[in-house]
């Protein structure tokens, strides 16, 4: 487990090149912040099935992006949190229990979802079929990676991009999570016939 934090730090601190991504397909771009090695570390640490962990990561990314899309003061928040740092290593060195591991992400989740954050992670757990602690930890990690990436480079048209991809988020999010987030419960999978677009958002592209 001691090496787990090294991969997290490499992803969003020590390797800024990974954050210089095109913002065309946001779900893909933020999946790319999770290297294959980091995914395997999460897989072993959380002891979940490969496919279920991938779905949990995907749902968490979409939930965070929807929260950002609905925010009214993104620029203010990013500026106010510019100097915040998260000491993952201290948590692991102090044998932080799973129930509070990476809870530093709650700062971002509180801003995005307020009292809804626990309901969102629990609904992800229920609908995807992973443990509650898995959904909570993944949502925390994803929020930290995404917000810190945006603090480094926020496109001026971010909200417009998010609006244009709302249908993608609705298609990928579990129904219960969509209800909590106030999204229409439409099964876009049956209305979107473009298989190439669907395959674009698969997990086959995890970075090596």
Give Cβ neighbours of residue 125 (< 8 Å, ≥ 6 apart).
131, 132, 134, 135, 136
Grade residue 66 by pLDDT with cuts at 50, 70 and 90: very high
Is pLDDT of 125 > 80? yes
Average pLDDT over residues 3-16: 48
pLDDT digits (tens, 9 = 90+) for 83-104: 666 655 455 455 455 555 566 6
How far is Cα 137 from Cα 185, in angstroms, rounded to an integer?
26
DSSP track, 97-119: -GGGTTGGGHHHHHHHHGGGHHH
pTM of the shown model: 0.75
């Amino acid at each position: 487990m001691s090496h787990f934090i090294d991969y997290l730090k490499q992803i969003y601190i020590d390797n800024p090149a990974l954050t210089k991504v095109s913002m065309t397909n946001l779900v893909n771009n933020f999946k790319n912040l999770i290297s294959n090695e980091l995914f395997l570390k999460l897989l072993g640490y959380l002891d979940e099935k490969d496919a279920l962990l991938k779905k949990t990561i995907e749902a968490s990314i979409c939930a965070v992006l929807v929260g950002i899309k609905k925010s009214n003061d993104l620029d203010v928040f990013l500026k106010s949190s510019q100097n915040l740092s998260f000491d993952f290593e201290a948590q692991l060195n102090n044998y932080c229990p799973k129930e509070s591991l990476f809870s530093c992400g709650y700062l971002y989740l509180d801003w995005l979802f307020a009292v809804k954050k626990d309901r969102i992670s629990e609904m992800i757990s229920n609908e995807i079929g992973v443990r509650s602690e898995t959904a909570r930890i993944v949502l925390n990690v994803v929020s930290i990676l995404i917000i810190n990436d945006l603090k480094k480079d926020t496109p001026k048209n971010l909200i417009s991009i998010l609006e244009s991809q709302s249908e993608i988020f609705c298609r990928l999010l579990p129904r219960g999570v969509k209800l909590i987030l106030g999204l229409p419960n439409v099964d876009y999978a049956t209305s979107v016939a473009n298989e190439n677009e669907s395959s674009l958002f698969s997990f086959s592209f995890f970075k090596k």
